[in-house]
Amino acid sequence: MTVVPAQLQRTPLFHRHVALGARMIGFGGWEMPVRYDGITSEHHAVRQRAGIFDLSHMGELWLSGPGAGAALAYALVSDPPRLKVGRAHYSMICTPQGGIIDDLIVYRVADERFLVVPNAANVPAVAEALRHRLAGFEAALDDASLRTSLIAVQGPKARSILAPLTELPLESLPYYAIAEGHAAGVPAYVARTGYTGEDGFELFVHADAALDAWDRICQAGREGGLAVAGLGARDTLRLEAGMPLYGNELDLATTPLEAGQGRIVKLDKESDFVGRAALASALEEGPTRSLIGLSLHGRGIARHGHPVHGPDGADPIGLVTSGTLSPTLGKAIAMAYVPRASSATGTMLEVRIRTSHVPAEVVELPFYQRPP
Amino acid sequence: MDVPDDLHYTPDHEWLRRAGDEGTIGITAYAADELGDVVFVELPKTGGRLESGSVFGTIESVKTASDLYAPVTGEVTAVNDALSSTPELVNSDPYGEGWMIRVRLDDGSAVDALEDAAAYRTRIGG
């Protein structure tokens, strides 16, 4: 039985999840649905049709003012002033030593207005770091996390389900773009972003409007086979898509370079930024360890924390960060950190699962890519 | 949640169905539901020994892995091979086709130490 501590926060959709038969768990300080019918069926629904997720636990931090872009360029590893209005990119906020405080998405919704979306558990740390780092810039931070709900609709049918519910031209909204308007009868920012490896949309709405929006989307999606999906399916979907999860692949002891995210670190941007010197020298030296994908060749499922060994089975050389039985591929997959010398595609390694050593092959990430 | 009256139960949510000096072992509907979609079951081999209270196997769902605890001491006389290709039987039919192993009991009276259906129902709050 999962015991849920009393201090967990609840999203405006909490009672809807319970009514839908969700199993609720504590996640990032929130009481969230981990599954409804079952992780596997929810996972397949998102890959084949569409799924709707309550992501209201995620943070929403607004940066506004003439210096908002410059403040973010200083605070993050990416270069938000390069974003056109209405576009977004994946970014990270690092310590001066280059360790990852959080990974996040930055949306530029107006010339001087940015929306930063961190992980639920990291909202306080990210808000504090941003507040500290925007000192001296003409920018103000507004933490709208508690008054904002986030509803994601993901899957090949996401667009056809949502299109009748909004005046926004979804078919012409590019990947990693955001538009302001109405959706499902309520004011919303609609972004073409997600964490599943499928086409899909994320709707930022006022917390008071979340239940109305959720119910309307569920109603409209019934014919298209829209399924309610929990954090369990979100995790297997993102893992197949090779996307890192903070706390598993990313943490304060890990740099964006080790995590295979060097492309988002803009060492060529005009301004200085927190972590620049550390990341520049890390890039020059080359990371000593790399995040890899593993495909298991034996029986068993590699999980977070399982040791990775070389083919000789001697001392462990790394650790599994995430692993599951891939519902789409029907085989056990995992991500792991190993020394760079053992990270080449095709290298045969071993994962120790309890008492047995299971052969595992280094494979390219992502494990799954949606058909074009 | 289904808790058949004719079975014996452990606090770790295994069930045992006794037939003479043999017992069939599986996990309860409650446990299967708690785990979610079962994707892998690791069981001992026929002929192996089982010690009451010790781990005899592992069950994995999409989300998590859990140990299986032996309700009794004895020798494994049969293993449900169907679970290697269709582990989801544990979810769909936990007291039937989702059975795991059959054991020849060293001491038939050991079964009396297990919980009856009423006690197990109370344990899971049902």
Domain boundaries, chain A: 9-55+147-240, 61-143+255-285, 288-363
Of A1, A232, A354, Cβ closest to residue B62: A232
Domain B8-121 classification at class level: mainly beta
A77 DSSP assignment: S
Of all residues in chain B, the one with the smallest CA distance to A234 is: B63
| Cβ–Cβ gap A40/B60 under 8 Å | no
C-beta of residue A303 within 8 angstroms of C-beta of residue A294: no
- Gap from B26 CA to chain A (nearest CA, Å): 19
| Cβ–Cβ gap A303/B58 under 8 Å | no
Q: What is the pLDDT of residue A203?
A: 98
In chain A the beta strands, taken as DSSP E runs, fall at: 9-10, 23-27, 30-35, 50-54, 61-64, 88-94, 100-110, 113-117, 140-143, 148-154, 178-183, 186-191, 200-206, 226-228, 289-296, 307-309, 316-325, 332-339, 348-353, 356-363
What is the C-alpha to C-alpha distance for residues A80 and A88, in angstroms, rounded to an integer? 8
What is the C-alpha to C-alpha distance for residues A307 and A314, in angstroms, rounded to an integer? 11
pLDDT above 70 as % of chain A:
98
**C-beta neighbour count of A16 within 10 angstroms:** 18
Of A38, A235, A301, Cβ closest to residue B60: A301
C-beta of residue A257 within 8 angstroms of C-beta of residue A66: no
Q: What is the pLDDT of residue A355?
A: 86
Q: What are residue A192's DSSP bridge partners?
A: none
**Sheet containing A23-27, strands listed edge to edge, beginning at the edge strand earlier in sequence:** A9-10, A30-35, A23-27
What is the C-alpha to C-alpha distance for residues A133 and A74, in angstroms, rounded to an integer? 7
Say whether residue A303 is in contact with chain B using an 8 A CB cutoff.
Answer: yes
Whether A24 has a pLDDT exceeding 50, the answer reads: yes
- Gap from B28 CA to chain A (nearest CA, Å): 13
pLDDT tens by residue, A325-347:
999 999 999 999 999 999 999 99
Confidence of residue A6 (pLDDT cuts 50, 70, 90): low
**Sheet containing B14-19, strands listed edge to edge, beginning at the edge strand earlier in sequence:** B8-9, B14-19, B22-27, B101-105, B74-79, B49-50
- Gap from B83 CA to chain A (nearest CA, Å): 13
pLDDT tens by residue, A185-235:
999 999 999 999 999 999 999 999 999 999 999 999 999 999 999 999 999
Q: What angle do CA A87, A130, A264 make, to 5 degrees?
A: 45
Say whether residue B60 is in contact with chain A using an 8 A CB cutoff.
Answer: yes
Domain A61-143+255-285 classification at class level: alpha beta
Say whether residue A302 is in contact with chain B using an 8 A CB cutoff.
Answer: no
Q: Which residues in chain A are closer than 8 Å to B60, comparing Cβ atoms? A: 301, 325
- Interface predicted TM-score (ipTM) over 0.85: no
Say whether residue A9 is in contact with chain B using an 8 A CB cutoff.
Answer: no
Test the B interface: residue of A25, A32, A320, A325 with most B CBs within 10 Å = A325
Taking the complete model, does pTM exceed 0.90, yes or no? yes
Of A38, A236, A325, Cβ closest to residue B40: A325
Q: Which residues in chain A are closer than 8 Å to B63, comparing Cβ atoms? A: 34-35, 39, 232, 235, 324
**Sheet containing A100-110, strands listed edge to edge, beginning at the edge strand earlier in sequence:** A88-94, A100-110, A113-117, A61-64, A140-143
Q: Which fold does the domain A288-363 belong to in CATH?
A: Elongation Factor Tu (Ef-tu); domain 3 (2.40.30)
Whether B51 has a pLDDT exceeding 90, the answer reads: yes
Contact pairs from chain A to chain B, CB under 8 Å: 42
Test the A interface: residue of B34, B62, B86 with most A CBs within 10 Å = B62
pLDDT tens by residue, A216-226:
999 999 999 99
Q: Among candidates B34, B16, B5, which has minimal Cα distance to B113?
A: B16
Mean pLDDT of chain A, nearest integer: 96
Q: What is the pLDDT of residue B126?
A: 67
What is the C-alpha to C-alpha distance for residues A193 and A200, in angstroms, rounded to an integer? 6
pLDDT tens by residue, A285-306:
998 999 999 999 988 899 999 9
Whether A372 has a pLDDT exceeding 90, the answer reads: no
Whether A1 has a pLDDT exceeding 50, the answer reads: no
What is the C-alpha to C-alpha distance for residues A207 and A217, in angstroms, rounded to an integer? 16
Q: At what angle are helices A39-48 and A231-240 packed, to 10 degrees?
A: 60
Helices (H), B53-95: 82-85, 89-92
* Structure-token pair, residue A169: 């031209």
Q: Write down the residue that tokens 């190993």 correspond to.
A: A338
| Cβ–Cβ gap B58/A23 under 8 Å | no
pLDDT tens by residue, A236-266:
999 999 999 999 999 999 999 999 999 999 9
Q: Among candidates A208, A156, A161, A162, which has minimal Cα distance to A181?
A: A162
Domain A9-55+147-240 classification at class level: alpha beta
Q: At what angle are helices A68-75 and A123-133 packed, to 10 degrees?
A: 110
Q: Which residues in chain B are closer than 8 Å to A35, comparing Cβ atoms? A: 36, 63
Confidence of residue A5 (pLDDT cuts 50, 70, 90): low
Q: What is the pLDDT of residue A209?
A: 98
Q: Among candidates A158, A157, A235, A163, which has minimal Cα distance to A196?
A: A235
- Gap from A86 CA to chain B (nearest CA, Å): 36
Mean pLDDT of A138-167: 98
Confidence of residue A120 (pLDDT cuts 50, 70, 90): very high
Say whether residue B53 is in contact with chain A using an 8 A CB cutoff.
Answer: no
Of all residues in chain A, the one with the smallest CA distance to B37 is: A38
pLDDT tens by residue, B112-122:
999 999 999 99
pLDDT tens by residue, A46-62:
999 999 999 999 999 99
pLDDT tens by residue, B57-77:
999 998 888 999 999 999 999
